[in-house]
Every structure is written in structure tokens, then in C-alpha cells.
Amino acid sequence: MFLRNCWYVAATESEVGLQPLARTLLGRPVLLYRTGGGKAVALEDRCCHRNLPLSMGAREGDDIRCGYHGLKFAPDGNCVEIPGQTQIPPGTQVTSYPLIEKWNFIWIWMGDPALRNDTLLPDWRCLDDQPGLTRTMGNDGKPLPMQCHWELNNDNLLDLTHVVYVHADTLGGAGLDRFPITTERLPRAVRMMRWSENVTPPPLLAQLAKYNGAIVDRWQATLCELPSHCTIDAGFGPPGEIGRDGDWDKGVRLRALITATPETETTSFMFYQQVRNFAVGNAEISKRFIANIRDIFLDDVHVMEGQQRTNSARPDAPRIEIRADAPLIAMHRVIEQYAAKESAAG
Ligand code: FES
Ligand SMILES: [Fe+2]
């Protein structure tokens, strides 16, 4: 099941150039490239004549010529040439998907074009250039491929208790899971938050931020917006100095913007960036940080792929729910509600 009337990250801006990139998104083969003027284009990767993928053809100027019988398609999806005839029958076209380039990502709308709504992008303004913050692109500008359903990534990020077990040496910390979480249900999103007092700091962040205190107050918050756009806000500061509702920028603060784009029903791509308020502008720390975060996320992918293998083998196996599941169950409801709306609309 995919929600279609949403924006998804199709690629990072740096992945798409003059050379076409073929990628399956929401179960549909898509071809991404840039025109000579630099504008990003996304075409259905399927010739409407005999279904050869257009990615097996060749670029001609800003157009793509099919590699089978030579039909040529313009960036708007319309066929502009059929070898051997002057007449182009009406409807000789492939889908050209709307794109938005923003925050170093290329966002694609694969739903009903009439329902396109640019206000449905997540609120990732923290990625805008601003003083006091350093942004890093995850995995050097490439998505992490995941052999799992896209929704497992929401589940993973809405239950950050897992840092204690999956990322013990980097993001973990003793005592974190003693503190309760709150769940806030919004019309198209769910917010999870945990505030922990007098706990140990996440080892990796303390090390990179050169923070020496042994005991801190610490927060972990996730805003998960439809369909899979997660803003993780995590950090810490000296006990009693920041406060649950205080200014988190006074502490060591990391925001991770993470989204999973479905490829098929059981595979997806994780795209992510981070914004930090420590070691600002320090290129050496950025390099280490990118490598460390990739290793951490690969541990998550390892877990989610394990879940997927079981989910595929035993789809009906009974599962229990615990208190920490409240945010992810709430997000499942939001997704189900919108999926039902989409299927009712046909
Ligand atoms: S399949 Fe593309 S031109 Fe025939
Ligand atoms: Fe994780």
C-alpha cells in the first residue's frame, strides 16, 4: 500500500544530472534527469509504444529517444517525433511527474496531478542556511537502500527507546527507558517526545561536541509527518539548565531529517540530512559525523530488514503491543485513514 497524494523524495539534488537515473518509486519505474538548463525532469520510465524502459534509450538534447523504434519524448512527456510518419496520434505521451527542488532533495508528486499541494512538504526549514548551524547530507548524497516496507522506518523513528539496545555505544545511555514518552496526535502527523533527567549523554554526540559532563538532562523527539517524513530532535544539556520546554539550542542539539520513499511493497530508500549546533563549520567533524551516522543508520536498516523477513514469512503471526508503541500505533492510524480516503476517491 502506498499513499499517492503526497510528496516523496525521489533523489538528492546531486544524484540527478544530464545522465538519466532510473529508479523505481511507489512501484513505478521513473527516469530522472536534468535539461541542459538544469531543470529536473521525472518521466515514467516506459515507452508508451511497446513498453521498453526509456532508460534503455538515449538522450537527445533535452528529450529522450526510445531505444526500440525511436519515438522521441520531450520533458513534458509528450511524444515529439515518430520515425517514418509525420502524424503523432493524440495521447502519444508518457507521464511527466511534478517535481520540487528544495532542501537539497528532489521531491516528486506521483498522485493525482489535480490534487498537487505544495504545502504538504514537511516543515524542514531548519535545513535553510542559518548562522550557528551546520548541515550535512546523509551518506554523501546517496539514499540508503532498505529491503523493507517504508513504514518500518516510521516505526523505528517513533520509538527511540531502541537507541539503548541498537545504538548502545553511540546514541544510547543508561536509564533512558525509565522515562515516559508523550504522544501528540495531529491531523497529518504524530509527535513523540521523551524528556529524561539526570541520565548519561549519548556517547557519540558528547564526544563530537567535546562535552565532558557525565550526567545530563536529555530530550528525544520525533515529528512524523505523512507519509514518512520524520524530524528527529535530540540533544542534552547540564542538569536543570535547559528544561523540557526551554530553549534546546542552549544544549548540544542535533536534528535529523529522515524520510523513507517506497520502491516496492517490501523495499524502500532512506534519504536523510542532519543539522547540528555544535562543531559548527568544522569540516573534519562533519566528515566523521557523516560516517558515524551512516554506520548507526545501517544498524537500523539491519533491524528493519530482519523484521521484514519475518513479516514476509509470517504476515499473520500475532504480535503484542507495549506502552512505547503508542506513537507508532497513532501514526499507523493516520496512514490508514489517508489510505482509506485515497481508495474511496478511486
Ligand atoms: S517501444 Fe519505444 S518506440 Fe517502440
Ligand atoms: Fe536507530
Is 1 a domain residue? no
Give residue ranges with CB within 6 A of ligand 1: 47, 49-50, 52, 66, 68-71
Residue at which a domain ends, from 103, 118, 133: 118
Helix/strand/coil percentages in the chain, nearest 5 = 30, 30, 40
Query: Residue 2: inside a domain, yes or no?
Result: no
Q: How confident is the model at residue 173 (pLDDT cuts 50, 70, 90)?
A: confident
Same domain, 141 and 48: no
pLDDT, mean over the chain: 96
User: Which residues span the domain enclosing 178?
Assistant: 122-344
- The helix (run of H) or strand (run of E) holding residue 36 is none
Nearest to 224 by CA among 258, 253, 255, 199: 258
Q: What residues pack around ion ligand 2 (CB closer than 5 A)?
A: 300
Which three-class secondary structure state does DSSP give residue 74? coil
Domain count, the chain: 2
Is residue 60 domain-shared with residue 137, that is, in the same domain?
A: no
Cα distances (Å, whole numbers) of residue 201 to 158, 169, 247, 280, 289: 20, 11, 18, 20, 17
Q: 64 alpha carbon to ligand 2 midpoint, in Å?
A: 41
190 and 276 belong to one structural domain: yes
Question: DSSP states of 276-315 as a string?
Answer: ESSSTT-HHHHHHHHHHHHHHHHHHHHHHHHHHHHHHH-T
User: pLDDT tens across 279-303, in order?
Assistant: 999 999 999 999 999 999 999 999 9
Whether residue 151 is found in the same domain as residue 275: yes
Instruction: Report pLDDT digits (tens) over 176-227.
Output: 888 999 999 999 999 999 999 999 999 999 999 999 999 999 999 999 999 9
Whether residues 131 and 111 fall in one domain:
no
Q: Give yes or no: residues 45 and 66 share one domain.
A: yes
Distance (angstroms) between ligand 1 centre and the Cα of 79 equals 11
For ligand 1, mutation pick of 63, 65, 69, 93 (most atoms within 8 Å of CB): 69
| 171 is a domain residue | yes
Residue 346 clears pLDDT 80, i.e. is over it: no
The answer to whether residues 199 and 239 touch, using CB atoms and an 8 Å cutoff, is no
What is the percent of the chain where pLDDT is above 70? 100
Question: Looking at ligand 1, which residue's alpha carbon is closest to its atom 1?
Answer: 50
Residue 71 C-alpha to ligand 1 middle, in angstroms? 6
Atom 3 of ligand 1 has which residue's CA nearest to it? 69
Residues 72-81 have pLDDT tens digits of 999 999 999 9
R_g (Cα) of the chain, nearest Å: 22
The answer as to whether 78 is a domain residue is yes
Average pLDDT over residues 65-72: 98
Cell of 49: 509504444
One domain for residues 155 and 53:
no
Does 314 lie in the same domain as 187?
yes
The ligand whose atoms approach the alpha carbon of 46 most closely is: 1
Do residues 65 and 133 share a domain? no
Cα 189 to Cα 112, 125, 173, 193, 335, distances in angstroms: 21, 17, 28, 13, 9
CATH number of the CATH domain containing 332: 3.90.380.10
Say yes or no: 304 and 165 in one domain. yes
Domain assignment of residue 335, yes or no: yes
CATH code for position 100: 2.102.10.10
pLDDT digits (tens, 9 = 90+) for 13-59: 999 999 999 999 999 999 999 999 999 999 999 999 999 999 999 99
Could you tell me if 233 and 262 lie in one domain? yes
* pLDDT tens digits, 87-129: 999 999 999 999 999 999 999 999 999 999 999 999 999 999 8
Same domain, 38 and 162: no
| Domain termination site, one of 102, 118, 134 | 118
Question: Is 135 a member of any domain?
Answer: yes
Mean pLDDT over 275-280 rounds to 96
Final residue of a domain: which of 93, 118, 143?
Answer: 118
234 within a domain of the structure (yes/no): yes
170: left (phi over 0), alpha (psi -120 to 50) or beta: alpha
Mean pLDDT score, 153-158:
98
Atom of ligand 1 nearest to the CA of 67: 2
247 located within any domain: yes
